[in-house]
Structure 1
């Protein structure tokens, strides 16, 4: 081996140890969980809105927005009557949500389990997808946590691009987007009903007018209604695919 060989240039990926990856996703997902719980609670029962502004009420889904920058966060919430929380929980995950975003999802799989309730997921959309997702992929963590009162929180957000590249090299024609924060809060109510809150903030990467991105983001939060139908048709928890 030639000890005088010049150092290799730094690449755009980080090879992280299993323990370092675990520490990162634990910390990031805990922060995301707290953000989701805060978003779910804001504006209800006299609580402060914390910057959330109600935009509309469609199909019994309340649509809200927070932020004044180019990439806003959007929230939807709805009471699902006669849909037990555990039934909705079966479809409250990154893969089933992605299928509601775009029917041209070409790859959706769990690539690594970090812990029992913490996994890494890859989502890839094809060339026929909607503009927000066309030829884009997302490498995200998914963490499922049950609070002391029985509320379930599912936190989903992208890994940093450098870490994602080390785990899963992107396809040659794909753009790696960023799911800045997203996820579910499912609260059990009486009479086999539940309150469902979904939050999403996304940077699709690549050039898209920001107003166009925000307009499509508002459509994403309507997936509660689609997943409600899926939950009602799937009483048995779905297995990972």
Structure 2
């Protein structure tokens, strides 16, 4: 990031950045997030060759864990019948994704809309949350994109901590977590149903 577009404050370790620079950064960063999500949802690699180990199958949802890399990468997949991707994605936002990752979401609010499909959001979890989310807050971007084949993607990941601090200063008693490339993929099937994949990657 150029010195003309960002200034670093040594005391607070935060960056003040223009909205245009923020938009460019998030647009660039979210491209790799989208590709990561599409790779994780690739059904053609599902016969044990996609690098995921199935942990459980509950209420129609297949829960998997990535076999290599970070130990905290999980995937859920399920089939929604008689529901189109457009119907599902209307309510499938970063906030709804966070509720899937941990139902004990305490607070979720939009900080800034950068354009029609790009937003900055704050997510906060409380005492009752799972260990990786407990008493943590996340400042994330949300990008919603429709692929050429009609597949819908909601890409979610944390902003760099200095950038997040410039947008939303951290309170003294909070722990700011780091959510890596995560989100939703919704694939259209023949009978107006859809296959939903969600991925969560979190740094402990």
- Give the shorter-chain TM-score range: 0.7 to 0.9
Q: Would you say the 8 A contact 2:97–2:183 is kept in 1?
A: no
Normalising by the residue count of structure 1, what TM-score does the alignment of the two structures yield? 0.73
Deviation at 1:68, TM superposition (A): 3.2
Residue range with higher mean Cα deviation, 53-62 or 176-185 = 53-62
Q: Would you say the 8 A contact 1:43–1:49 is kept in 2?
A: no
- Look up the match of 1:196: 196
- Look up the match of 2:34: 33
Deviation string, structure 1 residues 59-102 (Cα, Å, up to 9, x no partner) = 33222222434533211211111222222112211112223444
If each structure's strand is expressed as a fraction of its own residues, which one has the higher value? 2
Q: Distance in 2 between matches of 1:31 and 1:59?
A: 31
Q: Distance in 2 between matches of 1:181 and 1:123?
A: 15
Q: Distance in 2 between matches of 1:155 and 1:111?
A: 17
Deviation at 1:194, TM superposition (A): 0.4
Q: Would you say the 8 A contact 1:36–1:199 is kept in 2?
A: yes
Q: Would you say the 8 A contact 1:42–1:52 is kept in 2?
A: no
Q: Would you say the 8 A contact 2:73–2:199 is kept in 1?
A: yes
Give SS of 2:16's match.
coil
Matches of residues 86-235 of structure 1 in structure 2 within 5 Å? 86-204=86-204
1:80 aligns with 2:76: no
Q: Distance in 1 between matches of 2:36 and 2:163?
A: 23
Stretches of structure 2 that go unaligned for 5 or more consecutive residues are 1-8
- Look up the match of 2:65: 65
The RMSD of aligned alpha carbons is: 2.2
Q: Distance in 2 between matches of 1:43 and 1:53?
A: 16
Q: Would you say the 8 A contact 1:135–1:173 is kept in 2?
A: no
Q: Distance in 2 between matches of 1:40 and 1:150?
A: 14
Q: Would you say the 8 A contact 1:112–1:120 is kept in 2?
A: yes
Q: Distance in 2 between matches of 1:86 and 1:167?
A: 31
Stretches of structure 1 that go unaligned for 5 or more consecutive residues are 1-7, 205-241
Q: Would you say the 8 A contact 1:95–1:123 is kept in 2?
A: yes
